Amino acid sequence: MLGLLAVGSVALDSVKTPFGEVSEVLGGSATYFATAASYFTKVGVVAVVGEDFPREHMAFLKGHPIDLEGLMITKGRTFRWRGEYGYQLNEARTLETQLNVFQQFNPQLPSNYKTAQVVFLANIDPELQLEVLLQTRSPELVALDTMNFWIGGKRAALLKVLGKVHIVIINDGEARQLVQEVNLVKVAREILKFGPKVLIIKRGEYGALLFTREAIFSAPAYPLETVFDPTGAGDSFAGGFMGHLARTKDFSMDNLRQAVILGSVMASYCVEAFSLERFRTLRLDEIMERYRGFKRLTHFDEMPNAV
């Protein structure tokens, strides 16, 4: 049985950062998510690509424990995204989004996907997120990511899916846009009113915040000397986070905290190279070493005596 199911984009990205530029490289929210999650559990992908999708990219995906039965290849062009970043790497400026084959995509889940216990609705048209969710059989945990493109363009559909998920994972700018509020604590309170039990706000180089109605957990981003391309960091975070939860099937607050750190570890590796290049060589022992690095980075003792 499939441990983790994801729907999202599989894309060809063209990206410019202050450190370089790449054209039509492998990208997409489902691609980054599934690759990061595949270090922890087998993940099935529901998405579509066109006949122009390069064979080498398919080979990359097949090289990881990713189930591709739900990845359709249809006539037409693969989804394309073009974006750029300034020295402030936190926010991508979208220059072009071509939905292409996603415009007519009518996802049909393979039968063994329907019983997945953990589901991730990666950034894609909320109507597709909903269609996939409706084909699943009461999963134990459902999480969702989205972006400004859909918050502005498909708000009603997005609010409908938001009411059906347990966890929302979203970046700070988009969280503010969703509820038109600036202060992140107030933003969190408002988003939790839509129905989810947990909200994670990704803040790029400032780390991530996890909110429930009762508690807040804060994780820094790993201080890196080499950051080339932040594209996919959010999806890689979600992959590490959900991959750990799907593997352990423990949704307690303590385990959610560990999942946030593993998400941060995967995001930190993602940004070290363009596209998914870093995942070509990344090993599990490097992931665990950086996890320990996070522990050292954030650990401090109790005060022995009151001041």
- Interface residues with ligand AMP (CB under 6 A) are 9, 11, 13, 27-29, 32, 81, 97, 123-124, 147, 149, 231-235
Q: How far is the CB of 11 from ligand AMP (least distance, A)?
A: 3
Using Cβ positions, the residue closest to ligand AMP within the complex turns out to be 27
Complex with ligand AMP: residue 148 or 218, whichever CB lies closer: 148
Hunting for tokens 């090289």 — which residue is that? Answer: 63
Complex with ligand AMP: residue 28 or 70, whichever CB lies closer: 28
Residue 254 class from Cβ within 10 Å (0-12 exposed, 13-18 middle, 19+ buried)?
exposed
Q: How far is the CB of 138 from ligand AMP (least distance, A)?
A: 26
Hunting for tokens 């959610």 — which residue is that? Answer: 256
Complex with ligand AMP: residue 35 or 117, whichever CB lies closer: 35
Q: How far is the CB of 258 from ligand AMP (least distance, A)?
A: 21
Helix (H, G, I), strand (E, B) or coil at 287: helix
Complex with ligand AMP: residue 44 or 232, whichever CB lies closer: 232
Alpha carbon distance 203, 264 (integer Å) = 11
Complex with ligand AMP: residue 151 or 245, whichever CB lies closer: 151
Alpha carbon distance 82, 73 (integer Å) = 22
Q: How far is the CB of 125 from ligand AMP (least distance, A)?
A: 7
Give strand ranges (E) for 28-117: 43-50, 66-67, 71-74, 79-84, 93-98
Helix, strand, coil in percent for the chain, rounding step 5: 40, 25, 35
Could you tell me if residue 134 is left (phi over 0), alpha (psi between -120 and 50 degrees) or otherwise beta? alpha
Residue 3 phi, psi dihedral angles, 5° rounding = -75, -35
Q: How far is the CB of 19 from ligand AMP (least distance, A)?
A: 16
Complex with ligand AMP: residue 82 or 160, whichever CB lies closer: 82
Q: How far is the CB of 10 from ligand AMP (least distance, A)?
A: 8
